[in-house]
Amino acid sequence: MGRRCGVKNILSKIKIGLSKDKFSVGLDIGSSRIKVVKLKLLKDQVELCGFDIEPSRLELGEALKHILERHSGDLVNISVSGQQSVIRYVNFPRMDNAELRQALKFEAQKHIPFSAAEVNLDGCILKDGLPDNKMLVLIAAVKKDLANQRLKLIEGLGCRANIIDIDSIALANAFNFNYPVEEGQDHKAIALLNIGASMSNLDILDAGIPRLSRDIHIAGNTFTQKIADIFGLDFANAENLKINPVRNTTQISVNTIVSNGVNPDDERLNKINAGVESALVSLAGEIRTSFDYYESQGSSNVGKIFLSGGGAKFAGLKDMLAHLLSIEVEYWDPFKKIKIPDNIDAEKLKNSLGELGVAVGLALRNN
C-alpha cells in the first residue's frame, strides 16, 4: 500500500537466500502502545536484533520520536487498521497479474466504500484454478489521507518509510512464517484473534491463505472499563488489576470482596470474570457471526483460535472464549522460528510476546 502493497507477501512470506545481511524494522502504532521490532534477515534464517514497546500516552509524534531515535536512517515498515482501511476477498475471472492491475480499480469500486481517487489500492491473487474459471483475489485499500499522514510523520523523524501494510495482513504474515502449513497435512481453517486496546483484528486462514479479515470494536479497553466500574478504580489501576488479578490489591476496599472463607484471589478473579462477561459474550458473538458467514460459503470449519494482542493479557480470557465458542483457543509465539541472540532480555521478550505479532509481520517484509 502507499509505496508497496503489504498483501503481496502473504504467500511468499519472506525471501530466504539473500546474498547479504539485511535489516528490517516493523513499527506497529497502536492506540495505547507503540511496538517496534528489528530483524536481521540472514542468508538462511531470521534473527531478532531488538524490540521496544512505548506507551503512547504522549502526543503521537513525541512517542514515536522516543521509540525511533535508535532507528534513524532505517527503512521502517508500518501498518494501519480501522475504518480508513479495507480488505476484501473477491472471486475474479482468471487473468494474469498485469491484467489484474488493469482491472483492479474498476472492480474494486464494487467492493469498497471509497472512491478510487480517495485510496491507495492494491491486490493480489491468493488462489487460482477455482471452479468456473475463477480465482480468489485479495483487494486492499487505505485512505490516502491516512497513508500520507503516516509517511510524513515517520520521515519527519529521520526514518525512511518503506511499506504501508494493514494490521490483519501483517499478523497473517507473522503467523505463516512461524507456523507454516506442512504440505499434505490434514488441516482445518484457523482464526487469528489479535485483541488490541481499542480494536480487535480477526483473520481466518485456510491452509495459510487469508480468507476473511475484519476489525471488531470490542477490545482490551472494553474489559478494563468494566473492571473499573466494578471495583471503583481509575482506568490505570483497573488495567493493572486486569493483568495481575492476584496482586496489587491495596486499591480495592476490603468491603468490595467478601471472601466468606473463599480464597480472596479466587473471589476477586471470579468477580472480574463475571464483570467482563457481557463484553466477552459480545466479542464471542461477533466472532461466531464471522465464522458462520465464512463456513456458509462452503468453506471448512474453523478448528482453532490463535490469540494475541496486549488486550488479551488477562487471566481467564482464553478459557472463557473457548467455553463461549466451543473451540480450542491458544496463544501463539511470533518468534517461534526466529533466532533470539543472548543479548536480548529473555524475560522482557517473554512478557511482550503477545503484543509483537503485527510488528514482527511488518519486519518480515523485505521487498
Domain residue ranges in the chain: 1-84+143-179+335-367, 183-331
Between the CA of residue 155 and those of 64, 68, 152, 360, what are the distances in Å?
Answer: 11, 11, 5, 21
Question: Is residue 183 scored above 60 in pLDDT?
Answer: yes
Beta-carbon contacts of 327 under 8 Å, excluding residues fewer than 6 positions away, are 302, 303, 304, 305
Question: Do 183-331 and 1-84+143-179+335-367 have the same topology in CATH?
Answer: yes
pLDDT, tens digit, for every residue of 36-57?
Answer: 999 998 878 999 999 999 886 6
Average pLDDT, the chain: 83
Q: Which of 224-238, 245-259, 342-356 has the highest mean pLDDT?
A: 342-356
Q: What is the pLDDT of residues 247-285, one digit of tens each?
A: 544 343 333 433 334 455 567 777 887 878 889 999 999
Nearest alpha-carbon partner for 360 in 338, 330, 342 = 338
User: pTM for this one?
Assistant: 0.85
Question: Smallest Cα–Cα separation from 189: which of 293, 280, 294, 337?
Answer: 294
pLDDT at position 57 is: 60
CATH number of 1-84+143-179+335-367: 3.30.420.40
Angle at 302 between CA 299 and CA 303, to 5 degrees: 135
Determine the average pLDDT of the residues in 182-210. Answer: 88
Does 166 or 155 have the greater pLDDT score?
166
Q: How confident is the model at residue 94 (pLDDT cuts 50, 70, 90)?
A: very high
Q: With beta carbons less than 8 A apart as the criterion, state whether 1 and 165 touch.
A: yes
pLDDT band at 367 (very low <50, low <70, confident <90, very high): low
Phi and psi angles of residue 120, each rounded to the nearest 5 degrees, phi first: -90, 125
Percent of the chain with pLDDT over 90: 49
How many helices and strands (H and E) does the chain possess? Answer: 10, 13
Cell numbers at 202, concatenated: 480477526
Residue with cell 488462489: 127
Q: Say whether pLDDT at 21 is over 80.
A: no
Q: Give the end-to-end CA distance of the chain in Å, rounded to a whole number.
A: 12
| pLDDT at 6 > cutoff 50 | no
Instruction: Say what the pLDDT of residue 305 is.
Output: 98
| CATH domain 183-331 topology | Nucleotidyltransferase; domain 5 (3.30.420)
Q: What is the pLDDT of residues 315-332, one digit of tens each?
A: 788 999 999 999 999 999
Q: Which residue did the predictor score with more confidence, 288 or 83?
A: 288
13 close to 24: Cβ distance less than 8 angstroms: no
Instruction: Calculate mean pLDDT across residues 345-361.
Output: 95
Say which residues have a Cβ less than 8 Å from residue 132's Cβ, sequence separation at least 6. Answer: none
Confidence (pLDDT) at 69: 76
